[in-house]
Structure 1
């Protein structure tokens, strides 16, 4: 039963909502007003789990205006993506709400934002979770913001939970922030993608300090979405379907790929065929991302071919379709991505084209996201033994962990209180830390179950929307009547032979540029390697090529199978694929000889590859370089510093090779099976250059990324 104050607040809230959306007849959807009253009237902590497009942002913007009218401080929104921040700021400004952001892309504006906050001229401040631990922001801004904050909003709150599909360690810092808020500061957490396990975890964290949490959960069905799956398709069939049918899809949309190279390759193939598309990945420059988002929003492109970098936060209410070339690793993640479509349209088409390589991609990302005890122990030991802060680059010369994994591990240790980020790097707090093996094992098992659910979604003959709802523990799941499980395939299943031929030709096209290393890793003296700065031009290799990346849709799949197989001589078909690469190389000077990186695991493959190229090009075959003192040491997969140290001074030439190289009049083609860090190629090239080779052109079968 509403009180008199509730009625008054409802009237004020409705007025604000109508101003926000620009319509005099606008009214709250089920659950929105309840959330606003809980925040503004009762100062509660609230978790809202509602479908994409329900209007979660309306709740916190309306609440912000009402709280500001009462004299409270600014709303602080912790938001995960710059795209989301841009859209939220634009929406707020349209409603007369003064919204600003502090993020990595606008550090030069921090002074102006700080001054505006001090003058109380900011209604909404959006920050990324990473910003909460930036030393400057943490020390200069956060204490005052926590004291004056009128409302704290945790957007995309499923990121708080490591049970979730998109866990981010930085979100764990929000738990610490919650404990610094004055009594009576309301908190709103919002998400569209949380199953029961994630909801329980988020509620536990929101309730730290003994606070009750009100959970408002609605049905997650999306009436506008028409779901479908094309089963058992090869890479060429998937690409051919796109080439033939992309223009038949409604409006403009998003084509998701699992890897950066996959997105870039598909975008290039579609553009070559005359389709107006662009690639959007984690490698896309931030300024270019903003431009690409605007092009899609304004329907100036048919689609963006994107990785998950384009996900949470991108808002185009009339997005007409979402396609996936390869499946995300869980139905929850899939629901989040397809939720981009059909927010303000009667119909939007959602089609999944899974691939046989999906499970390998899932396994790779799953292994990279979980901390390992021996690596955590090594980092803690290094920091404890140092008398000063260590940068990430400095740590790389002490612990053999790849940069991305090391950065993730440091975040985990930071939010657990074992290390602290300070100016100049990282230090140990001296606090004891225990590896929670049991929890990580449970999380790993949960993710395996999610992968199994995704496969089940692909294979189900039942309603696909109901399957997704059930995967998110939505009790209101019911048959949608629109998907291919309910109504049969709504999408064309035939692919013209011409499209298949075009796709096959595109996927059989080999050749990926291989950029040489330009700089030695920093701090190599710690590992006994006397190098620093730029690699001297007279000792470096030139730009080269690989047949394909392992993640490529065409040759990548064949190369993955080849490198998993027992060692054997190179397939003649693979040698033939190299002919156009060599023909179109564009080198300034044609190679006159071929040498190989020595291989312990695949000597037949590498040597036959080099010999075959030498015979085709009538080049001198120098053979594999020599292994010195047993050759490279250590395991594959470490960071740059250790990869270089492991191969340093462990490759050489015998007397005959040295004599042959010193007499060459042109470059050497240097071959190998797989390039990952490129340090083995770099050291091998240095050996050849020091022996007198006029140049070194690297040519490998596969690039790891």
Structure 2
């Protein structure tokens, strides 16, 4: 078949894909170049093109052409559940049978594998996490590698740790690339790769298959109008939304930096009469599906989302993207705003930066590769164990939090130092070197991205040109549309009424603090005789905090007060008043102080303080102030028995933290006597809770000393 016949067939498939069979749809020349490279030349190719360019059309058209020529199914590796759902529907229009394997449908996996075996599936979409599953790697991946007709790596920048969204699960693709049969084409796609990331991904694509073809296009988005609205604080930003959201055309996305901010913003906008839904990492899968459907069908004005919505939502007529707070990377920002204006002539993209943004960046900046000493400690523990160790068991040995420990293990797995097996992780015994230079460079890259994001806010030049230059787009030039090029088109003023409403919403204190109910795994192995469920008679109750440190309301007030370099001092009057208000609301809540506890005393009988190494005055004055206002006796403060252990427990993982805290406190004799003479619930006061183990250990001591129930009250909860 010559090029003309192949092109004609490809265009006919495209017409079916877009729902216009027999129509005039044609692949653009750059799309056709990618399809031809895959189908005719069976090459490996990296396509770096702007969001909305039509990357999915390339791999669906190529799939149909290859399947007609007897090739095996296409395997698409994508981290995007929302995009997977969109693409399954799109493929069906062209008669392409597509199925997906991800964390949301485990009950379907066996059926899908059988369909692939029988040749009934044309496209299999797989989440990268599956690549790191022992069962998938051992039983499914070899069969896929042997039968795959086309491998597609979506959001390919995730492969590279130079990129803004590195995901170690993606590194497993190198093994799959090396195992593919000769002549199997590979397509990698991304909209957000600068020159360094492009070169790195292209090099990895060449694994076992020769040099990769790189097809890079301009990243200009002519439909987007970029602007920045600088406002004094979070209340002004919410008030601005309430007054200007209705002016933005169509429906869109409001991005926030934290889950708490998304939930706060959603609640406030609903109070203002806007149909909006929240979309975060905490949103249940069924609710996510409903939210996506509501936005696609324009039943809501906006989804208020964290990066959980991310790259993978496909709505061509999305009319606007607003960010409440700056992402830490202009590349990530470009990717998120690229969701707008794909199928409409004009879309507004507005950034409302906050003074707290950098504090939030630091709060979530726990993703750097651990220091060499901690990595070596992990490798030694696995080598000495001589067997597989689970992550909870490793936590008892290695002072890393679970998410960071798991990420580190995945990197070590890819680099051959450890391997995941049933039951956990084991050492391979292979030599491994710590790439100090590379990890330091990545850290500097992250810092540079943050500086660039600050520059984006303050630049007087073209904003689109700025973003394109961050992505090394050689064709970057002034867009003529942004607020720098064409002038400000939307106001920054808010009415007194809107500001009052927003301030009232953000000033409302009070969030629940869930207690710990299980001791961490592996405590006996490190000399602490605690395991299993915490006995009901030793648990603390569900408590309260004024707010979360990630809130845009009380979080903004509490972060400076609780910062590591903040001076100690008496509790501020407004904070004490808020604590008292939280207690009053707590008492009025369903079940009051002790829901589901029959015949419980309705009111605390006294206040106890947790001793503090860093803020003794703050905690003491908070506890005594609450006692005075509530007319409750201040029963005393727990005593330290192991100051060094308690201090070392901060910022550790659960097992290490609990080990440091397990013997750090004692109940002084006078406090024990007071507890015996005041039967009833005890209010336990501390500055903040991060892991919940300080409260769990303190509550256990108090209950063993005679306290009936322990009700924690803290200024802040993390998360």
TM-score, with structure 2 as normaliser: 0.96
The partner residue of 2:622 within 578, 591, 609 is 609
CA distance, structure 2, for counterparts of residue 665 and residue 365 of structure 1: 42
CA distance, structure 1, for counterparts of residue 557 and residue 701 of structure 2: 32
Q: CA deviation at 1:355?
A: 0.8
Alignment of 1:45-124 (within 5 A): 45-124=44-123
- C-alpha contact 1:50 1:191 (8 A) present in aligned 2: yes
After superposition, the C-alpha distances for 1:576-620 in whole angstroms (9 at most, x for unaligned) are 112221111031421110000011111111001100001001111
Q: Which residue of 1 aligns with 2:652?
A: 638
Q: Which residue of 1 aligns with 2:686?
A: 672
After superposition, the C-alpha distances for 1:225-269 in whole angstroms (9 at most, x for unaligned) are 111001253111111101111122111111111111111111112
Q: Which residue of 2 aligns with 1:206?
A: 205
TM-score, with structure 1 as normaliser: 0.98
Q: Which residue of 1 aligns with 2:234?
A: 235
Q: CA deviation at 1:154?
A: 0.4
Kindly indicate whether residue 16 of structure 2 is the aligned counterpart of residue 19 of structure 1: yes
* Partner SS for 1:368: coil
Q: Which residue of 1 aligns with 2:717?
A: 703
CA distance, structure 2, for counterparts of residue 168 and residue 216 of structure 1: 23
* Partner SS for 2:405: helix
CA distance, structure 2, for counterparts of residue 214 and residue 82 of structure 1: 28
After superposition, the C-alpha distances for 1:348-386 in whole angstroms (9 at most, x for unaligned) are 111000111111222333332433322211111111111
CA distance, structure 1, for counterparts of residue 518 and residue 8 of structure 2: 64
Q: Which residue of 2 aligns with 1:443?
A: 442
The partner residue of 1:658 within 669, 672, 684 is 672
- C-alpha contact 1:378 1:399 (8 A) present in aligned 2: yes
CA distance, structure 2, for counterparts of residue 82 and residue 343 of structure 1: 20
Q: CA deviation at 1:522?
A: 1.9
* Partner SS for 1:31: helix
Alignment of 1:135-146 (within 5 A): 135-146=134-145
- C-alpha contact 2:38 2:185 (8 A) present in aligned 1: yes
CA distance 1:358–1:400, shift in 2 (3 Å): same
CA distance, structure 1, for counterparts of residue 391 and residue 438 of structure 2: 27
The partner residue of 1:9 within 6, 30, 48 is 6
CA distance, structure 1, for counterparts of residue 369 and residue 323 of structure 2: 25
CA distance 1:194–1:395, shift in 2 (3 Å): same
CA distance, structure 2, for counterparts of residue 498 and residue 535 of structure 1: 49
Q: Which residue of 2 aligns with 1:596?
A: 609
Q: CA deviation at 1:643?
A: 1.3
- C-alpha contact 1:233 1:354 (8 A) present in aligned 2: no
Q: CA deviation at 1:515?
A: 1.0
After superposition, the C-alpha distances for 1:546-582 in whole angstroms (9 at most, x for unaligned) are 1111111122122111123211111112111122211
Q: CA deviation at 1:633?
A: 5.0
**Greater shift after overlay, 266-275 or 44-53?**
266-275
Q: Which residue of 1 aligns with 2:593?
A: 587
CA distance, structure 1, for counterparts of residue 678 and residue 304 of structure 2: 46
Q: Which residue of 1 aligns with 2:331?
A: 332
CA distance, structure 2, for counterparts of residue 338 and residue 584 of structure 1: 40
* Partner SS for 1:693: coil
* Partner SS for 1:584: helix
Q: CA deviation at 1:623?
A: 1.9
Q: CA deviation at 1:668?
A: 0.8
CA distance 1:633–1:558, shift in 2 (3 Å): closer
Alignment of 1:286-297 (within 5 A): 286-297=285-296
CA distance, structure 2, for counterparts of residue 412 and residue 168 of structure 1: 9
CA distance, structure 1, for counterparts of residue 166 and residue 444 of structure 2: 15
Gaps of 5+ in 2: 587-591, 595-601
Q: CA deviation at 1:661?
A: 0.3
* Partner SS for 1:121: coil
- C-alpha contact 2:679 2:706 (8 A) present in aligned 1: no
After superposition, the C-alpha distances for 1:3-51 in whole angstroms (9 at most, x for unaligned) are x721221111111111111221111124100000000000111111111
Q: CA deviation at 1:533?
A: 2.2
CA distance, structure 2, for counterparts of residue 360 and residue 441 of structure 1: 21
CA distance, structure 2, for counterparts of residue 671 and residue 94 of structure 1: 60
Q: CA deviation at 1:647?
A: 0.8
After superposition, the C-alpha distances for 1:152-175 in whole angstroms (9 at most, x for unaligned) are 100011111111111101111112
- C-alpha contact 1:311 1:340 (8 A) present in aligned 2: no
- C-alpha contact 1:596 1:670 (8 A) present in aligned 2: yes
- C-alpha contact 1:160 1:169 (8 A) present in aligned 2: yes
Q: CA deviation at 1:472?
A: 0.9
- C-alpha contact 1:418 1:430 (8 A) present in aligned 2: yes
The partner residue of 1:623 within 616, 632, 636 is 636
Alignment of 1:266-285 (within 5 A): 266-285=265-284
* Partner SS for 1:304: strand
Q: Which residue of 1 aligns with 2:574?
A: 573
CA distance, structure 2, for counterparts of residue 69 and residue 320 of structure 1: 38
Q: CA deviation at 1:501?
A: 0.9
- C-alpha contact 2:637 2:671 (8 A) present in aligned 1: no
* Partner SS for 1:435: coil
- C-alpha contact 1:16 1:62 (8 A) present in aligned 2: yes
* Partner SS for 1:507: helix
Gaps of 5+ in 1: none
